[in-house]
Each structure stands twice: as structure tokens, then as C-alpha cells.
Structure 1
Amino acid sequence: VFDYKTGSIPSKSAIGTGEALQLPLYLMALEAGRAGAAVGGGAYLGLSTKTRSGVVRAGSEEPLGSERREYRVLDDEDAGRLFEAVREVAMSAVEGVRSGIIEPRPERSCPSWCELGPVCRARRGGHRW
């Protein structure tokens, strides 16, 4: 699975965290739709940066050649842990939306130059907008 991005891409270590759920969710959906089949892996591909990062199951990395270093290789146990962590984060977000709790939880502070303050609830300078 390839997810093409026009801007920056998440690092391979960020895949599966709250910062980069999209790719693992695609992989999980594909596996769910193909009973008994394990998906080989996937990557974010940066169109403007010409970079990539991804995850691949052990045994499926050979076709990657020298690009293998851009991927996190997962054995079945690692893949299971990754997918379970992603499932928990996604379900927590769903439960929050259902209960009306949609508070942003940015990993980093909001930059001072950001123009979205009027519509953003992130903290900036110790205050919520």
C-alpha cells in the first residue's frame, strides 16, 4: 500500500503513533477484507521531497533492495502489536467523537506563525485559543 503525500511524511518510527495512523489503518482494512491474507507492507511516499518511510513484514522486504533502510521490518508479533496499538488509538478517537470530546492533543506546541488560531483549540503561549 502506498500513500502519496505532497508535503512532509512521517518517520518510520512514527508510523502507528497518534502522529501517523493512516497507513496502518489502510493495512488493517486491507487485511480485514482479505480473510487469512497478510499484507506485505506499505509506505508513505513524499512527492515533493522524494522520500519514503514505511513498514514491511519480515519476508516481504527483499524487493525493496537498497530502499529497505527506509522501512521498519516487522515480524508477525511486531505487526500484531502495531495493529493493536493503532486500533486502540483509533477507537479512543472514535469514542471521543461519540461523546463530544474532540480536544486536540498535539505532540508539539503550536508554532507562533500559524494562522489557524481562531479555529484551533491547541495551546499557544500557555493559553487555549
Structure 2
Amino acid sequence: MTTTKKPNLERRARTRHRTALDVSLQLGTQSTTVSTRDVCLSGLSCYLPEPLELFTKYRFRLFVPTREAKEEVDGEGIVVRVEEVEVGDCNLFQTAFFFQHLDAGHVRILEQFMENEARETD
């Protein structure tokens, strides 16, 4: 009996773009600013020094470069994945956030940024 290996297919509905954008995360009374690992229209991931509980609600401000300046994209979301990883000689927590609320104008800013990123990588 022979078996065939199925090719790896992207399961995500939205394409992720590996890019380092500044993002300010507000979790209750604490806030921190880090760089993203990747971003898509559904969410983002980044490395944090401490783990967060799954489904923690947060507010964020993402600083997106445009041709004119940096646009601020504000919204709300939840933590959907936390994985401890080694980065250099440190252990950090790769954390994925799902966007629960983005207004239409902010979605358009992200869409334009993603389109520009896709063109530059082609």
C-alpha cells in the first residue's frame, strides 16, 4: 500500500505578512510597546517577555507606515495563542492576538498596507 503526502496548505483565511510594526498593547492597567512578528487583517503576533492568559481581552494601537506618515490603527481583541520560544539567548512568549473590533477606516489602512507589502515581495 502506498501513501501520498498531502502538500501543506495555508489554512488561514487571511494572508499573514512578516513585518516589524510598533504595537502598543493595553492589558487592563498595564501597557507595553513591542514590535510585531507578523500581521494580517485578522490579528497579529509578537514576542512578549511574560505569558498572557488565553482569551485575555486587550486594546491595541498599531503604527502602520503609509506613503505620507504613520497611521495609528486602534482596536480591541483577545489572546488566542501563547507559546514559549527561545529567541537568541532569551525565552520569550510568542503571542497571537485576534482582532475583535476594527472600524472600517482602520481596516482600509491595513488592507492598503498589506497590498503594498505583497507588491514589494513579488
Structure 1 and Structure 2 fold alike (TM over 0.5): no
User: Shorter-chain TM-score: what band?
Assistant: under 0.3
- Structure of higher CA gyration radius: 1
Scaled by the length of structure 1, the TM-score of the pair is: 0.23
Structure ranking higher in helix proportion: 1
